[in-house]
Chain A
Amino acid sequence: MSREVIKVEHISKLYRLGQVGTGTLSHDLKRWWAVVRGKEDPFLKVGVENDRTSKKASDYAWALKDINFNINQGDTFGIIGKNGAGKSTLLKILSKVTSPTEGIIKVRGRIASLLEVGTGFHPELTGKENIYMNGAILGMTKKEIDRKFDEIVDFSGVALYVNTPVKRYSSGMYVRLAFAVAAHLEPEILIVDEVLAVGDAEFQKKCLGKMGDVASHGRTIIFVSHNMQAVQSLCKTALYLKAGQIADIGTTESVINTYMSREIRNCYSQKWDFENAPGNELAKIISAEVIPYFKDDVNIIDTSTAFDLKFEFYNAVQNQIINLSLLFYSSAGNCIFNVGTGMKTLDKGMHTGILKIPGKFLNDNIYTITLMIVKEGSSALFYLEDILTFEVVDEPRTSAWYGKWEGAVRPTLFEFELK
């Protein structure tokens, strides 16, 4: 069955930068004057691509520029991209919260969007009243809600408190109730933002199962996330947005590969000339490198990939007692761990240190390495921060749960038996 249910044609969205709301009257007047004289809109012309790293050159920016794609019935379609790539804007346009500046989207069937759970919940209303309120806001009729009411209450697991105002609910109950309503929507097209990342693991699993059900009933799901794991396990096809434009579209796997290779700014290796090498008269660092052992033809370091960290350095003093020390920093800036070599008396000349990190040890994170060359096990001869940076991504999981795996590391070297 490959019947198009959504056809996006030349969708663009222009945003005004800076403080919206001041000076717009004069802009509006100029714009109006231009239109009256039959000229082109003077402010539309100066738009630039939405690239947040470059300094703004104009007051307007394209959050989306000329987006074209189709979604077929029964598809689970993922939209991925970094923050600010235009995912949310596209989502808002698809769910009719805002309108595009240019282009047209043709739709077959009813769209319901879940940009947030519990939209329209009123704290003073009871659970029951809020189910009706929220359901209606999401586009259900009273009849539909009547029909599904018991199911919703069962799913949420707050049956006991259904006649209590939700302001007395715990936050967990609140979210579960809100999601229960959302999970029982039956539109032809369902747009889901990362709201799934709520609640405990068990509840997530329940929600995912529910979404899977929905998809298998011939409904179409559009799922937006920057959680690759979630997209991979949910979506058949995907779209990768970068700076408001389509960077790749196709099967989820290939799109995620493109995403990984373009978005992750790794510093896998560094090399210096001897003259310019960082260091001092006692020692110099010549090179640093991450050497991953990839399986198959995947070329992304995930949590199951083993790799080596290799460092070359120059020891300028004969018979200097030296050891290397490495500090692993997480993206949040915490030192995850610190490993060192044993002390060794080294000749004057080039030496190499290799650290072997096994697969299934690190958790998914972006790691930044600091290298220290230590003399006599006590004082640092020299150290270099941020010598290497690399991202370890989550490995494909077999369970339906794909929330963030907690912890700084994810070692599997301990015996953990289940009898």
Chain B
Amino acid sequence: MTNEKILNSNDDKWDSNITPSNKLLDLNIKELWQYRDLLFLFVKKDIITVYKQTILGPIWFIIQPILTTFVFVILFSKMAGFDTGNVPPFLFYMISITLWSYFADTLNITSKTFTDNANIFGKVYFPRLILPLSKVFSGFIKFLIQFAFFMAFWLYYTLIDKSVVSNWYILITPFLLLIMVTLGLGFGILITSLTTKYRDLTFLITFGVQLLMYGTPVAYSLTDTKVEKYKNILLLNPLTSIFEAFKFAFFGRGEFNLFWLSYSVIFTLLLLIIGIIVFKNVEKRFIDVV
């Protein structure tokens, strides 16, 4: 029992300090680990509450991307005439949309961490990072369901229809996914930290995420001749090379550009570090300004 341990250790050591400010980058992984059960419960709550009292329940996880995919096929493939090469447009847009919605959901929801949870944060302490992290995980579960659905189609087209040719780069897609969601998380916690004081950003964010989608190869591919001349600008978006690499791995179409991928990784890590620093700084006193 912890109690006895305390009684016995009658030395002058203190377990923790409450001070005005943190060290610059004080992640306190140990503490996060102590609260892993809370993280798990938050994820569970997200999953079971979203579709409670709906008839279709978790099927909505799949209906959403399918409907969007249909719209994209009609809009971008049929009407705008973007070229998807030998890849069936349906499959092409499905992976794009699955990836994009994971990224956009993560960014949207983590960017409201402080404002959405002011109530809880004002009443009880737990490592605040648990909340945005839990959103990453609950988003991942949703992603997995959608991705499994995509895989079913993809397997059909690679193994039976044989119109799609993939390659071993598939093995690094989990890493690409990690980079992508970390980018969303990094942006999210940075934005939520800034919006505690300057609310203007909240209006920008929903709008900004929408715009960002057009700057990311979601509806098109960089190899498309119509897109090629904007390639260098588009690659500045750290998501671009990730999306391209994904499509390259699954369809053999698109670009696998190691230089720009490294750029994305570095960009992401820097953003995450800055995000955490600002977040940790804000979490200590944001409750005074909400």
- On B, residues with C-beta under 8 Å from A are 2-3, 6-7, 10, 13-21, 34-35, 37-38, 40-41, 44-45, 48-49, 52-53, 119-126, 197-199, 284-285, 287-289
Count how many chain A residues have C-beta atoms less than 8 Å from C-beta atoms of the other chain.
53
A104 CB contacts on chain B under 8 angstroms: 17-19
Chain B residues within an 8 Å CB radius of A24 = 197, 289
Q: Please report whether the interface of chain A is mostly helix, strand, loop or mixed according to DSSP.
A: loop
Q: Hey, which chain B residues are within 8 Å of A108, CB to CB?
A: 6, 13-15
Of all chain A residues, which has the CB nearest B121?
A: A97
Q: Are A25 and B3 in contact (CB under 8 A)?
A: no
* Chain A residues near B285 (CB-CB < 8 A): 98-99
The count of A-to-B residue pairs whose CB atoms sit within 8 angstroms is 127
* Extra A-B contacts (7), CB below 8 Å, given A16-B289, A21-B198, A95-B125: A1-B7, A21-B197, A25-B198, A73-B6, A99-B19, A100-B19, A109-B2
In the complex, which residues of chain B have a beta carbon less than 8 angstroms from the beta carbon of A98?
Answer: 284-285, 287-288
Contact yes or no, A188 B289, CB < 8 A: no
CB pair B124–A106 under 8 Å, yes or no, is: no
Residues from 226 to 275 in A contacting B, C-beta threshold 8 Å: none
Question: Would you call A20 and B18 a contact (CB within 8 A)?
Answer: no
Set B15, B125, B289: member contacting A21, Cβ < 8 A: B289
Contacts A21-B197, A124-B52, A133-B45 known; A119 to B20 CB distance under 8 Å?
no
Closest to B52 in A: A124
Q: Is A137 part of the contact surface with B, judged by Cβ < 8 Å? A: yes
**Do A139 and B197 have beta carbons less than 8 Å apart?**
no
Knowing A25-B198, A125-B48, the reply to whether A99 touches B20 (Cβ < 8 A) is yes
- A93-B18, A104-B17, A107-B16 in contact; A115/B124 too (CB < 8 A)? yes
C-alpha gap A138/B121 in the complex (Å):
12
Q: List 16 A-B contacts (CB under 8 A).
A: A3-B7, A20-B289, A97-B125, A99-B284, A104-B18, A105-B19, A107-B18, A108-B15, A110-B15, A113-B124, A116-B124, A125-B45, A129-B44, A133-B45, A139-B35, A140-B37
* Distance of A218 Cα from B2 Cα, bound (Å): 11
Shortest distance between the CB of B203 and any CB in chain A (Å): 15
Cβ of A136: which chain B residues have Cβ within 8 Å of it?
Answer: 35, 37-38, 41
Question: Closest CB of chain A to B204's CB: distance in Å?
Answer: 16
* Interface residues of A, Cβ cutoff 8 Å to B: 1, 3, 7, 15-16, 20-21, 24-25, 73, 92-111, 113, 115-116, 119-120, 122, 124-125, 129, 132-133, 136-142, 165, 188, 217-219
A125 and B53 CA atoms in complex are apart in Å by 11
Residues on the A chain within 8 Å of B124, using CB: 95, 97, 113, 115-116, 119-120, 137-138
Contact yes or no, A188 B2, CB < 8 A: yes
* C-alpha spacing A101/B19, complex, angstroms: 8
Verify B20–A92 contact, CB threshold 8 A.
no
Which chain B residues border A100 with CB–CB below 8 Å? 18-20
A95 to B119, CA, bound (A): 15
With a cutoff of 8 Å between Cβ atoms, the chain A residues found around residue B41 in the complex are 132-133, 136, 142
Residue in contact with B20 in the complex, picked from A103, A107, A125, A217, CB distance below 8 Å: A103
Q: In whole angstroms, what is the CA distance A335 to B247 when docked?
A: 80
- Tell me the bound Cα distance from A98 to B124 in angstroms: 10
Task: State which of A97, A106, A133, A138 has its C-beta within 8 Å of the C-beta of B122.
Answer: A97
Contact A218 B3 (CB under 8 A): yes
Which 4 A-B residue pairs are closest in the complex by CB-CB distance? A96-B125, A99-B284, A105-B18, A136-B38
Contacts of A115 in B (CB 8 A): 122-124
- Whether B3 lies near A188 (C-beta < 8 A) is yes
User: Smallest Cβ distance from B136 to chain A, in angstroms?
Assistant: 18
**Given the complex, which residues of B lie within 8 Å of A20, measured CB to CB?**
288-289
A185 to B44, CA, bound (A): 22
Which residues of B are found within 8 Å of A119, using beta-carbon distances? 119-120, 123-124
Chain A residues within 8 Å of B288, by CB = 15-16, 20, 98
Measured between beta carbons, the chain A residues less than 8 angstroms from B120 are 119-120, 137
Contact B18 A101 (CB under 8 A): no
Q: Which residue of B is nearest A13, CB measured?
A: B288
- Identify A116's interface contact among B38, B123, B198, CB under 8 A: B123
A102: chain B residues within 8 A (beta carbon): 20
Given the complex of chains A and B, what is the CA–CA distance between A304 and B15 in angstroms? 47
Q: Chain A nearest CB: distance from B231 CB in Å?
A: 38
Give the chain B neighbours of A165 by CB distance below 8 A. Answer: 52
B6, B48, B119, B126: the one within 8 Å of A139 (CB)? B126
* Residue from A94, A133, A142 in contact with B18 in the complex, judged by beta carbons closer than 8 Å: A94
Chain A residues whose CB sits within 8 angstroms of the CB of B198 once the complex forms: 21, 25
C-alpha spacing A125/B48, complex, angstroms: 8
Q: In the assembled complex, which residues on chain A have CB atoms less than 8 Å from the CB atom of B10?
A: 3
Report the bound CA distance from A15 to B49 in whole Å: 37
Query: Cα distance A166–B96 when bound, in Å?
Result: 39
CA distance A129 to B44 in the complex (A): 9
When chains A and B are docked, how far (Å) is the Cα of A140 from the Cα of B126? 11
- B199 and A21 contacting across the interface, CB-CB below 8 Å: yes
Q: How far is the CA of A73 from the CA of B44 in the complex (A)?
A: 37
- Minimum CB distance partner of B7 in chain A: A218
Q: List B contacts of A140 (CB < 8 A).
A: 37
CB distance from A392 to the nearest CB of B (A): 34
Find chain A residues with CB under 8 A from B289 CB: 16, 20-21, 24
Residue of B nearest to A137 (CB): B124
Residues of B within 8 A of A105 (CB): 17-19
What is the CB-to-nearest-CB distance from B162 to chain A, in angstroms, rounded to a whole number?
Answer: 46
Quote the shortest CB–CB distance from B127 to chain A (angstroms): 10
Return B89 CB to nearest CB of chain A, in Å.
Answer: 38
Contact check, B17 vs A106: say whether CB atoms are below 8 A apart. Answer: yes
Question: Shortest CB–CB separation between residue B30 and chain A, in angstroms?
Answer: 13
